[in-house]
Amino acid sequence: MSTIEIRDLTKKFGTFVAVKDANLSVAAGEIVCLLGPSGCGKTTTLRTIAGLERATAGDVVIAGQRVNHLPPEKRDIAMVFQFYALYPALSVGQNIAMPLHREAIGSAEVATRVRKVADILHLRDILDRLPGQISEGEKQRAAVARAIVRDPKCFLFDEPLSRLDVELRHSMRGQIKAVLSNLTKATVIVTHDQLEALTMADRIAIMRDGLIEQVGSPHEVFAKPANVFVASFIGTPQMNLIDAQFKSYGNGKAKVVFDEQDVDLSVHPAVANLKAGKVTVGIRPRAFTVVSKDTRDTIDAMAELIEPMGAETLIHARTKTGSDIRVVVPRDKRVKIGEALHLVPDPAQTHVFADDGKAVRA
């Protein structure tokens, strides 16, 4: 089975801990993205799986075999780096064929395999060209073709699309995902681009300061962030994270109060059991309804900045004690700078994080 597992993996450089007690398992046919800010340990994790770095503690297991002691070439992994280097003097076809020269197969078999991956990646018509005569997207596809031509146990990609322009990146994401999903190999992709992770991954591992903070499907990490960091990292525009005081009224009714304003949390059963005290409330900018002032509890804020975003408008508003609130409304909802907004958050989409930053859940 083509699987990748890391167990309690720690990687230190001197005394600096780049990756700490990381656990992750990637099933055959699954794409897992390592996502996180610069320096969080994504590349180090990938390089340790590949054998380019040695684990300080813990295990790397590939296809059920512990490989800590094996050099990269014995791990049967294909890697695609951000700076994929194609040999400039060799044709695209010859570049793709390079990894096959280490295998004991005849030239007819090599040609057949190259043609097969060239078909998958739409490179058939440019196999005879030199790298200097093809586009960036074609170079990237050739690098992927070279990685998959050998039928390795699994794939590792390090920021494979970051050199491409936005439009090309968008189309390549879909193409690479489609190719990988037909290959039933475990794949790990490192990226700092959340859109890339959300569109390509079956699951995302979000890292910070060497720690894996949460592993889940794109929907899970967006809809159920495990802590304040994940909540703030996933989603655009960023989730509003508001310091508030929690109050429980019994009977499953609870509220948080900030800026002398109440936010109703009565439908959030786990939250009702919290002790009174300080919490952080997370509300995505699209989880508000803008209402006219009535008897309901509303968050009141004044629109300060209005940013059109195509079909939607992003409003930056400020409460009377100075908290910033981001609200996204449909474009046809006209709001003026200086206008008072009365906001009702959807309780089902209101996240509560306890004092230690962890999400409070049922």
Ligand X SMILES: Nc1ncnc2c1ncn2[C@@H]1O[C@H](COP(=O)(O)OP(=O)(O)OP(=O)(O)O)[C@@H](O)[C@H]1O
Rg (CA), the chain: 25
- Calpha distance 112→90 (Å, rounded): 18
Q: Name the residue nearer to ligand X (CB basis): 13 or 87.
A: 13
- Residue 192 in contact with ligand X, rule: CB under 6 A: yes
- Residue 15 in contact with ligand X, rule: CB under 6 A: no
- Residue 292 in contact with ligand X, rule: CB under 6 A: no
Question: Beta strands 186-191 and 31-35: pairing type?
Answer: parallel
Q: How far is the CB of 2 from ligand X (least distance, A)?
A: 24
x-or-dash pattern for ligand X, window 44-73, by CB under 6 A? x-----------------------------
x-or-dash pattern for ligand X, window 238-277, by CB under 6 A? ----------------------------------------
- Residue 36 in contact with ligand X, rule: CB under 6 A: yes
Q: How far is the CB of 193 from ligand X (least distance, A)?
A: 10
- Residue 282 in contact with ligand X, rule: CB under 6 A: no
x-or-dash pattern for ligand X, window 142-181, by CB under 6 A? ----------------------------------------
End-to-end C-alpha distance for the chain, whole angstroms: 36
Q: Which stretch binds ligand X (CB under 6 A): 11-19, 118-126, 220-228, 241-249?
A: 11-19
- Residue 83 in contact with ligand X, rule: CB under 6 A: no
- Tell me which residues touch ligand X (CB under 6 A): 13, 16, 18, 36, 38-44, 192
